[in-house]
């Protein structure tokens, strides 16, 4: 099948990934059916071979010279290196060899080279950042001055727009190394050891001689064919065989999508599939938006969002009061897991100090149990954060789709550090998964052709959305004199509302007025507004809509004469005591309209004011047949038994 996506006018190709599972396989040569356990075993053997070669190749080239040579993009002869990592490594002469006596084909070596090249290319940014921080080491690592911040941002690649938290964390890492060894590190490769290699198969680096994938005849299914070893140490090519594995495609994969070779990995004894596919989506635009969704971050209220419209005359109006995404229960569970993790880490560190690395110490077994429990809690926290990020992103994109917005403006809080706001607030801010949520929003918004742009967060919660005057923050709307942070009051125009509600209005209006300043980041391909222009900011105000006028009900003439109703509003005559048939008026008492004759049990002591009060012992069979509810259950008396004054007969209709 072709790997090129057919595109129409106004469309672009988008590559995404879906997760799947290999449940079984069939050996093509013999027709043997491989169950899930055997298939996972064979995939694990192949992944172990690739991981071993990757570890050896990575340890050999984990140094500054080789990483710089790969990052330069040119080989020794000055030719441009290919974009594929395995081809670039072969151009540089970096080869991987299997263990002695093991026979693998060239495509297995390709996967090892591809994985090594990706790791080395990702280390380039960390190496440049570490070199820039070391070259501009501050006098006080805990607190840089303004001049020191400007200096380090000039040296670090892309440091002008790099979040300050990234530079601060790298500074802390270098300071910890210097405290432990009594000297400064030479580079990042001295601080960080050779990274561990994941046991996975990057089939994207292979061709048809190792793996193929095609759609099956049934919709929603595909067939993956690949060569797998029949033993953990294949000695010849006869120990490799073709295995056909059916894959059930998730419903998120469109029918017209082009499938690519996936990545296989073993998790909990099962073969997981990361299936890449390409499909056409609508193009997103940086400018030309008239309807936008503004998104603001919060603590108790994780997200606040609302839509704003840009009119032809330059006015910006808010569409409604917006909505809020609250995740109090999930955040509470997140904090409980964090406290549990901190407690387990403290216990594990205490045991580590007591054992001193002695394997035969009695506390070594307890330390091992704590280590496993820490890993379990960490997995729970990761899964919880991932689920929260997907749920929040889905909510934001659904809000944009409902409002027919073409762009989502998100507050850029990458530079915000969790410090100086108290122990509790600092901890809560540091635990938020804002980066994951934004990545998920971009992923889901691209499916429907909605652009996602980050805007500066300066003064979004401080200034009034209608007149840009600094707000007065109070505890609550009914406590206008108590200082707080949740409720905002404008001393100029009188606007008041929730702090987050005013923030998303400011974010949406700022994005709409600064559309011309939207740029695409080369590193990540994301859209961002980097700076705020004062002349444009003065127009970034929400114009209040005119309040709805109530209907004028003042009297302008004589009251209209009310005609006498021929029929009374309430029934003044009693209902018939016995049913006339299946149809007709509702009879008085407890007989059903659909019964021409009362049940036999209803004739026993049955009256209009009582239900089955026999003189003998209570028999529930009568109640089961419809004679009543209880032995001494009395019904309400009929209207004719207690005459009431009728004062509404001659009144008109209340409607």
In sign, the C-alpha dihedral spanning 149, 153, 154, 155 is positive
Inside any domain, residue 605? yes
Instruction: Report which of 276, 267, 326, 284 is spatially closest to residue 301, judged by C-alpha positions.
Output: 326
Number of domains the chain contains: 3
Whole-number pLDDT of residue 631: 45
Residues 319 and 384 in one domain: yes
Instruction: Show the CA angle centred on residue 243, arms to residues 242 and 249, nearest 5°.
Output: 135
Whole-number pLDDT of residue 142: 86
Inside any domain, residue 336? no
Looking at the predicted structure, is the pLDDT value of residue 634 above 80?
no
Residues 76 and 191 in one domain: yes
Coil vs helix vs strand at 225: strand
Beta pairing, strands 527-529 & 451-456 = parallel
Residues 319 and 256 in one domain: no
- Residue-number span of the structural domain to which 625 is assigned: 598-634
Residues 271 and 297 in one domain: no
pLDDT tens for 187-239 read: 999 999 999 888 999 999 999 999 999 998 888 899 999 999 999 999 999 99
Residues 308 and 256 in one domain: no
Question: What are the Cα distances from residue 317, in Å, to 29, 293, 404, 510, 542?
Answer: 68, 12, 15, 12, 5
Looking at the predicted structure, is the pLDDT value of residue 509 above 80?
yes
Looking at the predicted structure, is the pLDDT value of residue 20 above 60?
yes
Looking at the predicted structure, is the pLDDT value of residue 582 above 80?
no
201: tokens are: 């198969």
Residue 636 burial class via C-beta count within 10 angstroms: exposed 0-12, middle 13-18, buried 19 and up:
exposed
Residues 300 and 273 in one domain: no
Inside any domain, residue 515? yes
Looking at the predicted structure, is the pLDDT value of residue 639 above 50?
no
Inside any domain, residue 528? yes
Residues 318 and 205 in one domain: no
Q: Rg of the Cα trace of the chain?
A: 36
Helix H or strand E segment including 365:
helix 364-402
Q: Which residue is listed with tokens 């419209």? A: 309
Q: What are phi and psi of 408, to 5 degrees?
A: -120, 120
Residues 391 and 429 in one domain: yes
Looking at the predicted structure, is the pLDDT value of residue 594 above 80?
no
pTM of the model: 0.74
pLDDT tens for 458-505 read: 888 889 999 999 988 888 887 777 777 788 889 888 888 888 899 999
Mean pLDDT lowest for which of 57-66, 498-507, 562-571, 599-608? 599-608
Please give the residue that has the higher pLDDT: either 483 or 567.
483
Residues 217 and 261 in one domain: yes
Whole-number pLDDT of residue 164: 82
Please give the residue that has the higher pLDDT: either 80 or 650.
80
Looking at the predicted structure, is the pLDDT value of residue 603 above 60?
no
Q: What are phi and psi of 127, to 5 degrees?
A: -65, -45
Q: Which residue is listed with tokens 């419903």? A: 251
Residues 191 and 305 in one domain: no
Inside any domain, residue 450? yes
Residues 246 and 306 in one domain: no
Inside any domain, residue 166? no
pLDDT-derived band at 39 (thresholds 50, 70, 90) equals very high
Whole-number pLDDT of residue 653: 40
Q: What is the CATH number of the domain that holds 440?
A: 3.30.420.10
pLDDT-derived band at 589 (thresholds 50, 70, 90) equals low
pLDDT-derived band at 578 (thresholds 50, 70, 90) equals low
pLDDT tens for 401-419 read: 999 999 999 988 765 555 5
Looking at the predicted structure, is the pLDDT value of residue 586 above 70?
no
DSSP code per residue over 177-207: HHHHHSS--SSHHHHS-PPPPP-EEEGGG--
Inside any domain, residue 375? no
Inside any domain, residue 365? no
Rounded distance between C-alpha atoms, residue 31 and residue 49, angstroms: 26
Where a domain ends, among 282, 314, 348? 282
Where a domain ends, among 537, 560, 577? 537
Residues 210 and 276 in one domain: yes
Highest mean pLDDT among 26-30, 324-328, 585-589: 26-30
């Amino acid at each position: 099948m072709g790997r090129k996506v057919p595109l129409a006018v106004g469309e672009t190709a988008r590559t995404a990934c879906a997760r799947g599972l290999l449940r079984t396989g069939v050996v093509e040569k013999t027709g043997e059916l491989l169950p899930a356990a055997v298939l996972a075993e064979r995939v694990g053997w192949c992944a172990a071979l690739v991981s071993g070669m990757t570890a050896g190749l990575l340890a050999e080239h984990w140094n500054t010279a080789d990483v710089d040579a790969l990052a330069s993009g040119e080989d020794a002869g000055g030719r441009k290196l290919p974009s594929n990592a395995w081809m670039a490594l072969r151009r540089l002469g970096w080869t991987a060899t299997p263990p002695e006596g093991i026979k693998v084909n060239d495509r297995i070596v390709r996967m090892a080279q591809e994985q090594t090249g990706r790791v080395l290319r990702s280390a380039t940014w960390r190496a440049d950042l570490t070199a820039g921080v070391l070259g501009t080491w501050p006098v006080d690592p805990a607190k840089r001055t303004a001049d020191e911040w400007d200096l380090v941002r000039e040296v670090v690649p892309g440091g002008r727009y790099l979040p300050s938290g990234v530079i601060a964390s790298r500074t802390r890492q270098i300071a910890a190394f210097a405290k432990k060894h009594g000297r400064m590190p030479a580079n990042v490769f001295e601080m960080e050891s050779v990274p561990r290699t994941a046991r996975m198969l990057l089939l994207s680096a292979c061709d048809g001689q190792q793996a193929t994938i095609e759609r099956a005849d049934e919709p929603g299914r595909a067939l993956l064919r690949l060569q797998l070893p029949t033993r953990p140490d294949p000695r010849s090519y006869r120990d490799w065989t073709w295995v056909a594995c059916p894959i059930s495609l998730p419903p998120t994969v469109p029918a017209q999508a082009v499938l690519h070779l996936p990545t296989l990995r073993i998790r909990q004894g099962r073969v997981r599939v990361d299936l890449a596919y390409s499909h056409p989506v609508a193009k997103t635009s940086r400018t030309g938006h008239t309807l936008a969704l503004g998104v603001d971050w919060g603590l108790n209220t994780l997200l606040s969002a609302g839509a704003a419209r840009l009119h032809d005359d330059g006015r910006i109006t808010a569409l409604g009061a917006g909505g809020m995404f609250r995740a109090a229960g999930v955040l509470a569970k997140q904090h409980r897991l964090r406290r549990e993790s901190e407690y387990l880490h403290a216990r594990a560190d205490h045991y580590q100090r007591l054992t001193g690395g002695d394997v035969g110490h009695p506390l070594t077994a307890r330390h091992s149990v704590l280590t496993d429990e820490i890993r379990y809690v960490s997995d729970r926290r990761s899964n919880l954060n991932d689920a929260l990020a997907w749920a929040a992103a889905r909510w934001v994109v659904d809000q944009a789709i409902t409002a027919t917005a073409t762009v989502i403006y998100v507050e850029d809080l990458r530079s915000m550090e969790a410090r100086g706001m108290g122990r509790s607030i600092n901890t809560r801010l540091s635990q938020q998964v804002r980066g994951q949520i934004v990545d998920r929003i971009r992923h889901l918004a691209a499916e429907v052709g909605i652009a996602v742009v980050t805007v500066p967060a300066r003064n979004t919660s401080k200034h009034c959305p209608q007149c840009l005057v600094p707000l007065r923050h109070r505890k609550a709307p009914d406590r206008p004199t108590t200082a707080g942070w949740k409720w905002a009051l404008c001393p100029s125009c009188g606007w008041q509302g929730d702090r987050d509600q005013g923030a998303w209005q400011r974010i949406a209006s700022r994005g709409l007025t600064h559309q011309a300043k939207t740029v695409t980041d080369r590193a990540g391909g994301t859209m961002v507004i980097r700076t705020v222009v004062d002349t444009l900011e003065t127009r970034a105000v929400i114009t209040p809509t005119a309040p709805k006028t109530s209907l004028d009900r003042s009297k302008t003439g004589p009251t209209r004469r009310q005609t006498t109703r021929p029929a009374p509003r309430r029934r003044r005559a009693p209902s018939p005591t016995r049913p006339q048939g299946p149809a007709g008026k509702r009879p008085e008492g407890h007989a059903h309209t659909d019964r021409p004759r009362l049940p036999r049990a209803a004739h026993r002591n049955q009256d209009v004011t009582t239900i089955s009060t026999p003189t003998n012992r209570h028999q529930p069979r009568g109640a089961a047949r419809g004679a009543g509810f209880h032995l001494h259950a009395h019904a309400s008396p009929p209207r004719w038994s207690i005459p009431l004054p009728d004062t509404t007969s001659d009144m008109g209709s209340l409607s």
